[in-house]
Amino acid sequence: MNQVVIPAAAIGLAVLGAACEAPRAAAPVGSVMQAPRETTMKPSTTTTTADSPAAEQQRWHVERLARLQAPDGWLTLVGLDFLEEGVAMAGRGAEATLRYAGCASDRIGRFEVAGETVRFLPEPDAEVSIERGVAGEPLTADDAGPPSVVRSGTVSMTLVRRNGRLALRVRDSESPTRVDFQGIELFPDDRTRCVQARVIPARAGELLPITNVMGFEESQPIAATLEFELDGAAHTLVAMPAGEGRLFVVFGDETNGRETYGGGRFLEVPAPTGGRTTIDFNRAYNPPCAFTAFATCPLPPAANRLPVRIEAGERAPRSTPHSE
């Protein structure tokens, strides 16, 4: 994990309903909110006032799920294959070292790895394309700029660096995880879990050790510490930068491994104003690792493990790839 990357499915979702207002209606307990695979949205069966917090919560979650289920969303991950020195053939056939059923042919081309350089050479007449790269020339990993992507059939292979090593992040738009996705249950919207926080900016260069689900640890920059109260008790969370002044929090609580995913949840916090911001735990969402074993999500640092139950936001998916 070279840096904590904010999942694309989350960007822009936390700013809706930043104010902590009393709800006029709430979603029923255990309701499943799911965005359909097509752009047409099904009408909600929950009765809410259009501008109520519960309605905003529904809009936020429909958008969140639509991004999660996108053709290049987290549900499409089918592989994180670390590259070894030498040559590896890719395709759907039995002779392929990198075998993906969604490729257009048995042999689409070979990856050649020499030290830190990776090239892709397509097979003659193979149905394959390269984005942000040229056949036979060095490809770009995601830590060096917009990454190169090799596409064939329903499969895309993106060159990434994870845990200090070059790898292919493989997606298939027809992955069973995406095709069979049944939505995510939410806790009922609870305005007591939307609180104001004091923002204490971090010192220049301040870092925090972060461990990911694969056990790899790396220090990450801290943006601020958030001080807030829940049910009369004082708590803090350490936040990382999320772009455009917003903050990103990886937190754990006493529901993890039971009602919520065992590896914690993610939360975006609006950009501070006048040294204060809003933490809305109703917007807490599952990390990609709750859906796939091929993501490398950060785990909550010790400073962000709250000794309370946060019964707000997303519940755990019905099945998770990592046993807790």
Q: Give the amino acid at 197.
A: A
* In contact, 127 and 108? CB cutoff 8 Å: yes
The structure's pTM equals 0.82
CA–CA separation, 140 and 203 (whole Å) = 33
Q: How far apart are CA 27 and CA 191, in angstroms?
A: 12
Please give, one letter per residue, the 3-state secondary structure of 160-207: EEECCEEEEEEEECCCHHHHCCCCEEECCCCHHHEEEEEEEECCCCCE
Q: Whose CA is closest to 159, among 113, 198, 107?
A: 113
Question: Distance between CA atoms of 288 and 285, rounded to whole angstroms?
Answer: 9
3 state DSSP class of 242: strand
Contact between residue 46 and residue 57 where contact means Cβ atoms under 8 Å apart = no
CA–CA distance, 296 with 142 (Å, rounded to integer): 14
Query: Tell me, what's the pLDDT at 21?
Result: 56
Per-residue tens of pLDDT for the chain, all 324 residues: 444 444 443 433 434 444 675 433 333 333 333 333 333 333 334 445 667 888 888 899 999 999 999 999 999 999 999 999 999 999 999 999 999 999 999 999 999 999 999 999 999 999 999 999 999 999 999 999 999 999 999 999 999 999 899 999 999 999 999 999 999 999 999 999 999 999 999 999 999 999 999 999 999 999 999 999 999 999 999 999 999 999 999 999 999 999 999 999 999 999 999 999 999 999 999 999 999 999 999 999 999 999 999 999 999 998 666 443
The backbone torsions φ and ψ at residue 49, rounded to the nearest 5 degrees and listed phi first, read -70, 140
Looking at this protein, which amino acid is placed at residue 229? E
Q: Answer for the pair 113, 166: CB distance below 8 angstroms, yes or no.
A: yes
Closest alpha carbon to 310 in 242, 269, 264: 264
Q: Which domains does the chain have, with CATH numbers?
A: 74-178 (2.60.200), 181-324 (no CATH)
